[in-house]
Amino acid sequence: MAKKLKKKIVDNELLDAIFKIEREWKQVQNIVEKSIDPNDISIHFEKLAREKYLYLLREARHRKISAVRY
C-alpha cells in the first residue's frame, strides 16, 4: 500500500516538472523567436529546455503516466 502511495507522489511530481519545464521551454523559445539576433547562449538554453522536456516525457511514457488521468 505504501509503495502505491509513493509511486503516486512521484508520478505527480513528475507531471508537475513536465508542466514547469514546458512553460520554461515555451518562454525561452518565444524570446529566441522574437530576438533580432539571438546569441548562442539563448539558443543553447532553448535546446537544453527542450531536451529536458522531451526527457521527462519519455520518463512519463515509460512509467505509463498520462496527464489526462490526473
Per-residue pLDDT of the chain (70 residues; tens, 9 = 90+): 567 778 889 889 999 999 999 999 999 999 888 888 888 888 898 999 999 999 999 999 998 888 765 5
pLDDT in tens, 20-29: 999 999 999 9
Q: Of 22, 21, 42, nearest to 33 (Cα)?
A: 42
CA distances from 66 to 10, 11, 18, 29 (A): 13, 9, 11, 25
Contact 42, 31 (CB under 8 A): yes
Mapped onto helix, strand or coil, the DSSP state of residue 34 is helix
Contact 70, 15 (CB under 8 A): yes
* pLDDT score, position 42: 85
